[in-house]
Amino acid sequence: MKDYSHYYPQVDPDVERALLKKLDMRLVAWGTCAYFSNVLLRGNMPYAFTTGMNTDLHLNSSAYNWAVSMFFISYSLFQMPSNIIFSQVQPRYYLPTAVILSGILSNLAVFINDKHRGLLYVIRFCMGLSEAGCYPCIIFLISSWYTQKELNTRACMIVIGSNLALAANGLIGGTVFTTLDGVANIRGWKWMFMIEGVLAILIGIAGYFSLPNYPYNTPWITGVERQVALQRKPITRSFWKDHESLLFVSAKTLKHLATTPYIYMLIFMFACIVMGDTMIHNFAIILNGMGYSSVQSNYYSASVYIFSIIPTLVLAKTSDIMRHKGLHIFLVSLWSALWYSFSWFSSSSVQLMFVAACAVTLNAVLIPITLNWASQIYACDHEMRACMMALIVSVGNFIPYLIKPMTWEVTDAPYFRK
């Protein structure tokens, strides 16, 4: 990838530092919280399953897997429309509204019961619609402000939100099960959905005051800071001029997207990365199937995600310093594959499974690195960049979660083998 950094005009370093501090405190901090909320809501199914949802709703393996997959079906289908709309509207209104809608949908879980089990599928499908594009849109917005040498570290901070969310789900699931289960005649897993939904609504409201738009139309930066922001991104500067909100994607853009070889390579890579997260996302169910109680399974799985935070930041920083995304993707993928192989041959060992789960959490850092790579490839084309990132995330998520109901059976405990 060609380095355009030598084209950057000289900017005032003091103004640049002040601008970056504002962006880190507002954009990156809110983006981390928003993605924390997104993953908290989409990833709470395994923890709900181990704390009574399976018995309350009489969910067999197939019903559970399809409840999980309903989210990702709508999430994948609406990626492209979501990113196209996002590239033409003000992010400070679009993203917070999406987070608030997800929180409202999560609170509807109180109405789910055995007679209305279908409501679970409806909620999961609609939640996929509301969250569609949220993560790639955040990455898209970050890439509109930060330079290549700054991008991976900031994008991986968003992934930290994912790790914290999955850890929090385990802690919330265990705590709610022991303290709130049955309070007001509401089961603990419903309390978990409602608590996490209220948190999402609060985060969404904060976004209206925190988020920027693009460099040309953000109200809370000074004129000098705006000039520096535009100087820092000269390759895309023409797209900030004379911008019009037209919800239109040209046929030329779609044709170019379909004929570029990069898109197929990146989709394949992204799908493999998402597939690699399967074990770790179901670790609570695996532990529960191996004989641990619901509370123990949730707490132990939380520790795995907490462990992953420091290695994720280290990998993000080295990727920014070395500017060699392909090497990082190859080495981390090889590392994850080796640990999956070890766990396959020794799945009866709880200790090895725990070590393997900790090891493969590094796989998550590859998601922002892959999307940043895609963002660099089409750094000069605002519209193409939005469409490409949406297509990678949509197809890259759809393939693994279409395969999952046919291969993953929660009733295959304790070894989960075919």
Look up residue 207 and give its amino acid.
Answer: G
Average pLDDT of 260-272?
Answer: 86
Instruction: Answer with the residue of higher pLDDT: 243 or 225.
Output: 225
Instruction: Answer with the residue of higher pLDDT: 311 or 252.
Output: 311
Average pLDDT of 335-357?
Answer: 79
Alpha-carbon distance of 364 to 265, in angstroms, equals 18
Q: Give yes or no for a contact between 317 and 310, defined as CB atoms under 8 angstroms apart.
A: no
pLDDT digits (tens, 9 = 90+) for 81-113: 887 788 778 899 999 999 999 999 999 999 998
For residue 288, pLDDT over 50 is answered with yes
Instruction: Answer with the residue of higher pLDDT: 259 or 10.
Output: 259
Domain boundaries, the chain: 13-214+248-412
**Any residues with CB less than 8 A from the CB of 77 and at least 6 apart, and which?**
132, 394, 398
Alpha-carbon distance of 286 to 267, in angstroms, equals 28
Q: Give yes or no for a contact between 8 and 192, defined as CB atoms under 8 angstroms apart.
A: no
DSSP for residue 361: G
Chain centroid to Cα 356, Å, comes to 22
Mean pLDDT of the chain: 82
Give the per-residue pLDDT at 107: 95
Give the per-residue pLDDT at 250: 60
Tokens of 371: 């999307």
C-alpha pair distances (Å), 416 with each of 290, 308, 395, 413: 10, 24, 26, 5
Looking at the domain 13-214+248-412, which fold is it? Growth Hormone; Chain: A; (1.20.1250)
For residue 246, pLDDT over 50 is answered with no
Instruction: Answer with the residue of higher pLDDT: 260 or 413.
Output: 260
Task: Say whether 141 sits in a helix, a strand or coil.
Answer: helix
Q: How confident is the model at residue 406 (pLDDT cuts 50, 70, 90)?
A: low
Selection from 22-36, 242-256, 320-334 with the highest mean pLDDT = 22-36
Alpha-carbon distance of 271 to 148, in angstroms, equals 24
Alpha-carbon distance of 173 to 330, in angstroms, equals 35
Q: How confident is the model at residue 417 (pLDDT cuts 50, 70, 90)?
A: low
Q: Give yes or no for a contact between 360 and 49, defined as CB atoms under 8 angstroms apart.
A: no
Q: Give yes or no for a contact between 53 and 179, defined as CB atoms under 8 angstroms apart.
A: no
Average pLDDT of 3-11?
Answer: 55
DSSP for residue 221: S
Alpha-carbon distance of 166 to 196, in angstroms, equals 12
**Any residues with CB less than 8 A from the CB of 404 and at least 6 apart, and which?**
65, 68, 69, 278
* DSSP per-residue string spanning 275-301: HHTHHHHTHHHHHHHTT--HHHHHHHH
0.75 exceeded by pTM = yes
For residue 285, pLDDT over 80 is answered with no
Of 24-38, 234-248, 310-324, 384-398, the range with the lowest mean pLDDT is 234-248
Average pLDDT of 251-260?
Answer: 75
For residue 242, pLDDT over 60 is answered with no
Q: Give yes or no for a contact between 304 and 171, defined as CB atoms under 8 angstroms apart.
A: no
Average pLDDT of 67-78?
Answer: 86
Give the per-residue pLDDT at 1: 44
Q: Give yes or no for a contact between 234 and 9, defined as CB atoms under 8 angstroms apart.
A: yes
Instruction: Answer with the residue of higher pLDDT: 84 or 382.
Output: 84
**Any residues with CB less than 8 A from the CB of 183 and at least 6 apart, and which?**
191
Percent over 90 (pLDDT), the chain = 21
Alpha-carbon distance of 91 to 159, in angstroms, equals 20
pLDDT digits (tens, 9 = 90+) for 212-221: 998 888 889 9
C-alpha pair distances (Å), 102 with each of 29, 129, 130, 405: 19, 9, 6, 24
Look up residue 199 and give its amino acid.
Answer: L
Instruction: Please calculate the CA angle 249-156-107 and round it to the nearest 5 degrees.
Output: 75
Percent over 70 (pLDDT), the chain = 87
For residue 332, pLDDT over 90 is answered with no
Average pLDDT of 328-356?
Answer: 81
Helices (H), 308-413: 309-322, 325-345, 350-360, 366-377, 382-407
Of 94-103, 131-140, 321-330, 346-355, the range with the lowest mean pLDDT is 346-355
